Amino acid sequence: MTEAVGRTTPTALTDDKPAVLILGGLGYIGRFLALYIHQHQLASEVRLVDKVLPQLAWLAPEFKEACSQDKFMQADASREQTLPRIFDRSSGKQFDYVFNCGGETRYSQDDEVYRLRSLNLSVAAGKEAAKRDVKAFVEVSTGMVYKPDPSPRKEMDKTKPWLKMAKWKLTAEEELAKIEGLNLVVLRLAHVYGNYSSKFVATALSLARVYQHLGKEMKWLWDKDLRVNTVHIDDATRAIWRAAEWSDQGRKGWNSTWGKVALFNVVDHGNTSQGTMSQIIADIFAIPTGFQGSLISNFARLNLDSVVDDVNDEILGPWADLLAAANITRPGPLSPFMEKELLKDTDLSLDGSRFEEVAVFKYEKERITQDEVQEMIDSYKRMNWWP
């Protein structure tokens, strides 16, 4: 049935392959999930729903077939009146698996933005999936919902979201759990990195490029032990698919004492910290890296807004100069701009053993490495995003 644990072979499934609906299908995770399904011929039909048109989604060439126009539907799944069009199939049959990779992914937005674009999307789609008796509904959430702690958080541990985005993701989880008849699996992901990524790790790389250009040391707030756990996009997409399969196949190994909602953390084995990232960046960019002392970090803790504003003022001009010098006239999604929310001294530390054991899943990229990060930079160069 499998070539490696957690990976389905193209020939493993019969002609009764599942029909798949991906909400947020052109987002970072959604497009890679579509690519994984396409490469391994896992589905009989794939529909990608997104508000963004493919032409505006910064799609790399390898996504051309997986995210082709004939698979795409432009729609806002948070609006109930659009759901019949999104969920109806020409065959009259229902989708087997629905993956919610959608929602607002920008940081530091108003609560109302997350309520409308994340919470409403999850709840509306969940209710529709339950009504249609969808075999598996996978909600892609975040590990930032836990109360921060350096020791790895397990699924039963206390929640205390430290980002607005995470607060609304947790609310979505709770509301989905109330929907009768929904075959729900919730995955709480660590920081996702990989080719074409523009989030957490990508921001650090863009910052490093500026400090390299300026000939300055790149100093991090807090200390080297702050946990910033990671998972590679390839493993994230394999885990998302495996979660749907596992649910469809009877949820073997689920312990009823864990609750009625199947909830799993998805994180590699590297226990990535700021020290990990600092060393990788020092090696790739050949720049000195280090950490601010406790005096400066304590000052930053009390004056985070002004500290971050000062750093952003210092780096955004040189980044623009680098883009201009490289003749990049249509900048991609990369930026060294630092979000205040992400610079808190809060650990993202997750224990992913439950999913590995229950769903029989094995990570192929067990930790973030210099080679993986260099691959990210090479992918940016191919897209003409990297100065």
Contact call for residues 278 and 290 (beta carbons, < 8 A): yes
Which tokens hold the place of 205?
């790389």
Nearest by Cα to 172 from 116, 118, 128, 127: 118
pLDDT in tens, the chain (387 residues): 344 445 444 434 445 899 999 999 999 999 999 999 999 999 999 999 999 999 889 999 999 999 999 999 999 999 989 999 999 999 999 999 999 999 988 888 899 999 999 999 999 999 999 999 999 999 999 999 999 999 999 999 999 999 999 999 999 999 999 999 999 999 999 999 999 999 999 999 999 999 999 999 999 988 999 999 999 999 999 999 999 999 999 999 999 999 999 999 999 999 999 999 999 999 999 999 999 877 778 887 788 888 888 889 999 999 999 999 999 988 899 999 988 888 888 999 999 999 999 999 999 999 999 999 999 999 999 999 999
Distances (CA, A) of 100 to 16, 36, 52, 120, 253: 22, 16, 15, 12, 24
Nearest by Cα to 187 from 32, 359, 49, 20: 359
* Largest distance between two CA atoms of the chain: 65
Contact call for residues 365 and 232 (beta carbons, < 8 A): yes
Look-up of token digits 């920081």: 191
Cβ neighbour number for residue 359 with a 10 Å cutoff: 23
Distances (CA, A) of 305 to 162, 171, 339, 382: 16, 27, 10, 35
At residue 273, the 3 state secondary structure works out as strand
Burial of 271 (0-12, 13-18, 19+ CB in 10 A): middle
Sign of the CA dihedral running 252, 119, 201, 293: negative
Angle of helix 200-214 relative to helix 370-382, nearest 10 degrees? 80
Q: Alpha carbon 338 to chain centroid distance?
A: 18
Burial of 357 (0-12, 13-18, 19+ CB in 10 A): exposed
d(CA 144, CA 165): 9
> What pTM was estimated for this model as a whole?
0.94
